[in-house]
Structures are given as structure tokens and as C-alpha cells.
Amino acid sequence: MTTPTRPFAALLFDMDGLMIDTEALSERVWRQTATEQGIPLSHEQLQMMVGLSTERCLQYLADTLPEGHDVRAFGQLARQRYHQMLHQEEIPLKPGILNLLDWCTRENLPHAVATATQRTLADLKLARTGLQRYFAHTVAGDEVAHSKPAPDVYLKAAQLLGVLPADCIVLEDSAHGAQAALAANMRVIIVPDMAPPPAQIAKQALAVCQDLYAAQALLAALA
């Protein structure tokens, strides 16, 4: 394991909603598909799905939607539309992410992606946004036994980098992702995307930053 020369040895990055602006796109697809299918899908339910893998989203919907709806078929149609949009539409970056990744490179700071997204989609998003070149190590949600909010993706990312979990700082936008980082015994900086974190999660975070510029300033001060 690497011995850190700063108060942290590595940065671990969530992807959707943290580095790339895809959560709003995903919500739009879920909402439109639900309306067409006559499925009652509330804003609160959509918020609860942020940061979860597709399978966890489908399980959540199966548990919360009224009986009589084909959740599996609904999810398949929504996924097809989402994939199509990812191939055809521009995928915008979150403000400040390139500055932060360039800073990591200049500082020779180990970093990796740990996402709940499936491998094929993660590779597509990283390639289309040009972020792939920044990361030698990425972990996808379908490559571990349990996806977020379980800690598996973050523990595997730390292992790939050869650092102890306690020496990692995680950058996350969602409550589920922050829970995963905390469960991995890692410190977490939350940069909210769709909604602010619950109070109990915010209290456990190293910080809640308004954007990635503020997160980079904090990390530079710590280093």
C-alpha cells in the first residue's frame, strides 16, 4: 500500500452528476417514459433513484409503484431511450471537472472512477466526454457484488490504486454515493447535483461544496 505524503493518498470520483451532467437527462427519460406508459412516477421517487444502478432502480420501483405495472418492461424501454440519447446528444461536463483533473495530473495524485453505472455505459460516457484519458483505473457497478450505497466500488477502486480506504477522499453528488463512501471508511466531499444531501449525510461529510471549483480549492488547501 502507498504511504501518503499528504493527508490523503488518492481521489475517487463518482461519474454521473459529479463529472458529467447526465442525471437530469436520465430523469427526463424516466419521466417521459412513465407518462407514456401511464405509470405514476413522482419527483420524490426520481430523487430516490439518483446514484443507484439500473437494477437497484428497478427494484426500488417494483417495491414502491402500485401493483399491475410491468416494471421490467418499463425499465427496458427507458434504458433503450437513454442509450439512444447518450449516442446522439451532447453529454455536457460539470463545471470545474477539467480543472480538477488537470490539477490531479500536475500533483501526481492517484485517482480513479467508481460508478454505479454498468461498464458498457460508463465507457461510452467517459469516451464521449473525453474524460477517459484522465483515468487509468475505473470501476463499474456491474463489476462488484453490491453496487452503491454498498461500499464495494470504492473499496475496489482503492485496491486498484494500492491505497488504504482511510487514505482516500471521495467526490460524490448523491446521498447514495456518499453513503457508499462512508461505508468504505473513506472521507467524502459532496458536490450536490439534483438535490442537497440529507442532514445526517452532510454532517458525516468532510465538506459540502457548491461546485467542483470549491472542492478543488478545499483539496488544494488540504494538500
Q: Annotated active-site positions, please? A: 14
Residues in a beta bridge with 207: 189
- Cell match 500500500: residue? 1
DSSP letters, 48-93, are: HHTT--HHHHHHHHHHHSPTT--HHHHHHHHHHHHHHHHHHS--PB
78, 30 in Cβ contact below 8 A?
Answer: yes
181, 12 in Cβ contact below 8 A?
Answer: yes
